[in-house]
C-alpha cells in the first residue's frame, strides 16, 4: 500500500496563518516549553539521585528543585500547548495519522501525567514536613513520578519519529487493525531514529539541569550559605559536562546513522550545513561559561541561562528542518494555500504576549526578595501576618512593588524559592 493514501493532502480552506508563522511559533513555543520540560525530564532523576547518595549540599539542591517542581511542571505543560497547537495546524495531515496508529499510548500521556504531577506534590510535601525521616512510600512516589515523566518523553519521541517514518505506516496499520479499523496499539519501535532521538533529548535535559543549578543558586538562593553556592558552581559544571557528552554521542548517532542520505546531504553539505555545525557546537557556550573560575553572580548566571536558551532554540530549529526534509516527499507545508484568519491570530498573539509578561513579572518578584523564601516566611510571621505586608517588608518597604492579592500567589513565591512546603 502506498502510504500517501493515508495522508489527506486536501484542505477545505487554506492554512489559517502563513507557513513561516507556523514554523516560527513551533520553534519558539517548543524552546519555551523545553526549559521546564528538561527540568522534570532529567532534573527529577538528578534530584532523586542527589538526595539518595549526595552530601548535605546535594540534598539541599534536591529539596529546592523538588519543592519548585510543581510550579515548573505547571509552566511547562502550559508552554507545551503552543508547539502542539502549531504542529496540528501546519502538519495535521501527518500528525493525526501517526498518533491514531498509537492512539492508546498517546492518550496514555494524560494517564501518566496526572499521577506523576500528584506524586511530585506528595514528595515535596514529605520533604518539607518529614525531611530525612520521610516515609518510604513517599520516596517511592518520587521515583515513580520520575519514571512516569521519562515514559512520557518516550511516547512523545515515538509520536514525533513516527511522523517522519511515513513508509512504515502501511505495515503498522495492517498489523494493528481490525477489519480496516486502526486499533491504536502500534509503536514506532522498529524505527532506527527512535532511541537516539530519545537519548539525545535526555542529554540535552541534563545540560539544562546543570545550568539551572547555577541560575537557581545565583538568582533564587541568596539565603543559602557561601559553601552551598560554591558547591552549586562545581556541580552545575559537572552535570552540564555529563549532559554535553551524552548529547554529543546521541546526536552523532542520531544524525550520522539514522538520517536518510538526502537529509544528510542537505544538513551536512547543503544550505543547512552552517546550522548543523552551530547547533552541534552551541552546547559549548554554557559549558565554557560554567567552567570559568570564581563565584557565579547574577549577571554571569543570566548569561549562562541565555546561552542555554540559545542551545535549546537552535536544536528546536534543527529538528524542524530535519523533519521537514524527511516528510517532504509526502507532504510539503510550503505548498499549502493560505487563508489568514486575522481574528484568531490577533487573539492568540495578545494572549501569548500577556502570558509571557505575567510569568516574567512573577519570576522578577521572586528574584527581588532579599534572601529567598525563608525571608518571606519570616517577615510574614513577624509582621501583621498578611501576605501584602510580608511582601512589602521583604522588599524593604519600598514603593513600586504591587502587593500580592491572595495567599496562593504568595505560596507560589515561596515554592519557587525552594522553601520546603
Q: What is the CA radius of gyration of the chain?
A: 23
| Coil, helix or strand at residue 338 | strand
Instruction: Report if residue 290 sits inside a domain.
Output: yes
Q: Which residue has the higher pLDDT, 10 or 418?
A: 10
Q: State the average pLDDT over residues 325-349.
A: 91
Domain that holds residue 46: 16-328
Asked whether residue 360 is assigned to any structural domain, the reply reads: no
Domain membership flag for residue 257:
yes
Instruction: Report yes or no: 279 and 318 within 8 Å, Cβ to Cβ.
Output: yes
Q: Is residue 378 part of a domain?
A: no
> Helix H segments across 259-334?
261-264, 273-281, 284-291, 298-327
pTM of the model: 0.86
- Cell (9 digits) for 254: 542520531
Q: Mean of the pLDDT values across residues 120-136?
A: 79
CA dihedral 141, 147, 153, 156 (to 10 degrees): -90
pLDDT band at 368 (very low <50, low <70, confident <90, very high): confident
Top pLDDT among 375 and 117 is at 117
Taken in order 86, 88, 93, 96, the sign of the CA dihedral is positive
Which residue matches cell numbers 537529509? 263
Segment of 131-140, 173-182, 211-220, 400-409 carrying the highest mean pLDDT: 211-220
Higher pLDDT, 12 or 221: 221
Of 399, 407, 411, 405, which Cα lies nearest the Cα of 366?
Answer: 411
Q: Per-residue pLDDT for 398 more than 80? A: no
> Which of the four pLDDT bands, split at 50, 70 and 90, describes residue 175?
very high
Q: Is the pLDDT assigned to residue 407 strictly greater than 80?
A: no
Average confidence score pLDDT of the chain: 86
Task: Indicate whether 414 belongs to any domain.
Answer: no
CATH number at residue 322: 1.20.1630
Q: Residue 392 — very low, low, confident or very high, per pLDDT cuts 50/70/90?
A: low
The predicted-structure confidence for 178-225, as pLDDT tens digits, reads as follows 988 899 999 999 999 999 999 999 999 999 999 999 999 999 987 888
248-261 pLDDT, tens digit per residue, is 999 999 999 999 99
Q: Which three cell numbers stand for residue 240?
A: 552540564
Question: How many domains, in total, are found in the chain?
Answer: 1
End-to-end CA distance of the chain: 57
Q: How does pLDDT run across 17-66, given as a tens digit for each residue?
A: 999 999 999 999 999 999 999 999 999 999 999 988 888 999 999 999 99
| pLDDT at residue 125 in the model | 82
Confidence of residue 6 (pLDDT cuts 50, 70, 90): confident
Mean pLDDT of 333-352: 92
Q: In the structure, what pLDDT confidence band is assigned to residue 132 with cuts at 50, 70 and 90? A: low
> What is the predicted pLDDT for the residue at 126?
81
Tell the residue number behind the cell numbers 494572549, with chain if given: 351
The answer as to whether 234 is a domain residue is yes
Which residue is listed with cell 515554592?
415
Going by C-beta distance under 8 Å and a sequence separation of 6 or more, which residues neighbour residue 325?
Answer: 260, 262, 263, 266, 267
Residue 373 lies in a domain: no
Q: How far is CA 111 from CA 18, 302, 326, 385, in A?
A: 35, 36, 31, 40
Separate counts of helices (H) and strands (E) for the chain: 17, 2
The answer to whether residue 95 scores a pLDDT higher than 90 is yes
What pLDDT sits at residue 11? 64
Question: How much is the pLDDT for 183?
Answer: 94
Reported as type and span, the H/E element at residue 391 is helix 387-394
| Structural domain contains residue 368 | no
**Distance of alpha carbon 104 from alpha carbon 184, whole angstroms:** 5
Amino acid at each position: 500500500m502506498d502510504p500517501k493514501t493515508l495522508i489527506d493532502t486536501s484542505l477545505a480552506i487554506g492554512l489559517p496563518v502563513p507557513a513561516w508563522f507556523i514554523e516560527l511559533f513551533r520553534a519558539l513555543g517548543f524552546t519555551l516549553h523545553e526549559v521546564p520540560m528538561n527540568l522534570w525530564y532529567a532534573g527529577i532523576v538528578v534530584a532523586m539521585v542527589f538526595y539518595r547518595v549526595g552530601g548535605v549540599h546535594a540534598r539541599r539542591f534536591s529539596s529546592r528543585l523538588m519543592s519548585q517542581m510543581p510550579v515548573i511542571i505547571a509552566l511547562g505543560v502550559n508552554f507545551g500547548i503552543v508547539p502542539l497547537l502549531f504542529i496540528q495546524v501546519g502538519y495535521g495531515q501527518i500528525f493525526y495519522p501517526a498518533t491514531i496508529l498509537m492512539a492508546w499510548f498517546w492518550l496514555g500521556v494524560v494517564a501518566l501525567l496526572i499521577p506523576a504531577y500528584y506524586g511530585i506534590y506528595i514528595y515535596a510535601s514529605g520533604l518539607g514536613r518529614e525531611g530525612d525521616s520521610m516515609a518510604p512510600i513517599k520516596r517511592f512516589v518520587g521515583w515513580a513520578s520520575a519514571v512516569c515523566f521519562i515514559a512520557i518523553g518516550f511516547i512523545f519521541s515515538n509520536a514525533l519519529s513516527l511522523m517522519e517514518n511515513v513508509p512504515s505506516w502501511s505495515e503498522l496499520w495492517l498489523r494493528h487493525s481490525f477489519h480496516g479499523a486502526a486499533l491504536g496499539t502500534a509503536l514506532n519501535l522498529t524505527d532506527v531514529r527512535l532511541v537516539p532521538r530519545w537519548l539525545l533529548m535526555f542529554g540535552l535535559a541534563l545540560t539544562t539541569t546543570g545550568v539551572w543549578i547555577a541560575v537557581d543558586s545565583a538568582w533564587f538562593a541568596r539565603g543559602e550559605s557561601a559553601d552551598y553556592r560554591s558547591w552549586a558552581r562545581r556541580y552545575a559544571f559537572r552535570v552540564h559536562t555529563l549532559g554535553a557528552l551524552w548529547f554529543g554521542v546521541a546526536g552523532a548517532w542520531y544524525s550520522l546513522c539514522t538520517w536518510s542520505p538526502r537529509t544528510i546531504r542537505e544538513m551536512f553539505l547543503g544550505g543547512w550545513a552552517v546550522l548543523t555545525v552551530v547547533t552541534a557546537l552551541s552546547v559549548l557556550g554554557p559549558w565554557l561559561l560554567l567552567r570559568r573560575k570564581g563565584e557565579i553572580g547574577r549577571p554571569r548566571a543570566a548569561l549562562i541561562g541565555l546561552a542555554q536558551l540559545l542551545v535549546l532554540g537552535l536544536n528546536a530549529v534543527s529538528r524542524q528542518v530535519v523533519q521537514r526534509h524527511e516528510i517532504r516527499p509526502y507532504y510539503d507545508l510550503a505548498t499549502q494555500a493560505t487563508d489568514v484568519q486575522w481574528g484568531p491570530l490577533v487573539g492568540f498573539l495578545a494572549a501569548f504576549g500577556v502570558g509571557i509578561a505575567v510569568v516574567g513579572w512573577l519570576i522578577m518578584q521572586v528574584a527581588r526578595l532579599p534572601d529567598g523564601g525563608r525571608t518571606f516566611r519570616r517577615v510574614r510571621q513577624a509582621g501583621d501576618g498578611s501576605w501584602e505586608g510580608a511582601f512589602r517588608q521583604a522588599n524593604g518597604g519600598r514603593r513600586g512593588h504591587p502587593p500580592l492579592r491572595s495567599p496562593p500567589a504568595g505560596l507560589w513565591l515561596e515554592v519557587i524559592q525552594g522553601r520546603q512546603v
